[in-house]
Amino acid sequence: MNVKSSPHLAVQPTVAQVMRDVLLALIPGVAAYVLFFGPGVLLNLALAAASCLAFEAAALRLRGKPLRPFLGDLSALLTGALLALALPPGAPWWLVATGCFFAMVLGKHLFGGLGYNPFNPAMVGFVVLLISFPLEMTRWPGPQPLWDAATDALSSATPLDHVRTQLGLGRTLAEIGGDAPLGWLAGRGWEWVSLGYLAGGLWLLARRTIRWQIPAGVLGGLFLTALAFWAADGDRYASPPFHLLSGAAMLGAFFIATDPVTAATTPRGRLLYGLGIGVLTYAIRTWGNYPDAIAFAVLLLNICAPTIDRYTQPRVYGHRPRQEP
């Protein structure tokens, strides 16, 4: 083996390598998605990827930037993939295209393109759609496993939505537990999709593509808040595992909140940023108007990221912390 003498400098991965890793890490989650909910999500993925690339190319053209280096860095593809996974499978094509337009043009290129956008583009697109088209955005198909063709493709509420509605009707969680959309820990089918994202996320952690602080913060914040309320009143507040394995918690913790452009960058700052997302997600899920809240929580913490960074600068070795006058 050919080992050079020190100093050893680590080669920074290129943007395209990071994006490719993240895209590959989505595979287990997407596979579980297809297995439990049918191939509809693949159509969304293809449509969103194509639209995002098209809008990115159009925006680059308008701004007079070269197409090849920016299209080749796969960031548009990743934005499209994350947006597609957040949309209900079988969403109408114009819904996907509108979301991609807002994500790429308003969320990204109006601010100056990759690296300059203060908000996560995929979440900007998602929130615009959620606010503008509530009907289409809440029409989710029920579980429709590939091995069980007999199940009919009726649309149904997502587990989070179902629990929320039924709690509002005055039922207790023990009674709701046996309902159709719920499985052994969280939503039927959904828990496996979440575990798929978890597996992909752990692979990203092992490869050091993402750092542990943000996912730990998001999941920890969500878990601890849910635990506190569940312990106080288990009939009215869903269990911590339910919250972790429902909705977009896993996808958000490992793939969305960890966006290197819009997240906090200092080690302590990342932990705080993650915790903020986790706690806010629980709060909006439980007392807000929308069933899931990862997108809102991520956007709100995106605003705070520069401030968090400013107050969590690590001490430089050999220097005293600056004395505030």
Partner 1 sequence: MTMTPYAKIARDGLWNNNPGFVQLLGLCPLLATSSNVVNGLSLGLATLFVLTCSNAAVSAIRAYTRPEIRIPIYVMAIAALVTVVELFMNAYLHGLYEILGIFLPIITTNCVLIGRAEAFAAKNPLPRAAFDGLMMGLGFTLALATLGGLREVLAQGTLGSGAHLLLGEPFRGAHLTVIPEYRGLLLAALPPGAFIGLGLLVALKNSIDARLKARALQAQPIAQSSPQAI
CB 254 within 8 A of CB 215: yes
> Which tokens is 170 given?
């005055």
Residue 149 Cα to chain centre, angstroms: 30
Measure the CA–CA gap between 227 and 232, rounded to whole angstroms: 8
Q: Which of residues 86-115 bind partner 1 (CB under 8 A)?
A: 98, 106, 110
CB of 112 to partner 1, least distance (A): 13
Query: How big is the site for partner 1, counted in residues (CB under 8 A)?
Result: 8
Q: Look-up: residue for tokens 């509605």?
A: 165
Measure the CA–CA gap between 156 and 256, rounded to whole angstroms: 25
CB of 242 to partner 1, least distance (A): 30
From the CB of residue 67, how many other CB atoms can be counted at a distance below 10 Å? Answer: 11
CB 176 within 8 A of CB 162: yes
CB 245 within 8 A of CB 186: yes
CB of 290 to partner 1, least distance (A): 14
CB of 118 to partner 1, least distance (A): 14
Nearer to partner 1, 17 or 98 (CB): 98
From the CB of residue 129, how many other CB atoms can be counted at a distance below 10 Å? Answer: 24
Binding mask 53-92 for partner 1 (x = CB under 8 A): ----------------------------------------
Q: Does 223 bind partner 1 (CB under 8 A)?
A: no
Q: Look-up: residue for tokens 């993240």?
A: 22
The DSSP symbol for 247 reads: T
Helices (H) and strands (E) in the chain, counts: 16, 2
- Provide the H-helix boundaries in 207-239: 213-232
CB of 136 to partner 1, least distance (A): 9
Nearer to partner 1, 132 or 155 (CB): 132
Nearer to partner 1, 136 or 179 (CB): 136
Binding mask 122-141 for partner 1 (x = CB under 8 A): ------x--xxxx-------
Nearer to partner 1, 128 or 227 (CB): 128
**Binding site residues, partner 1, CB under 8 A:** 98, 106, 110, 128, 131-134
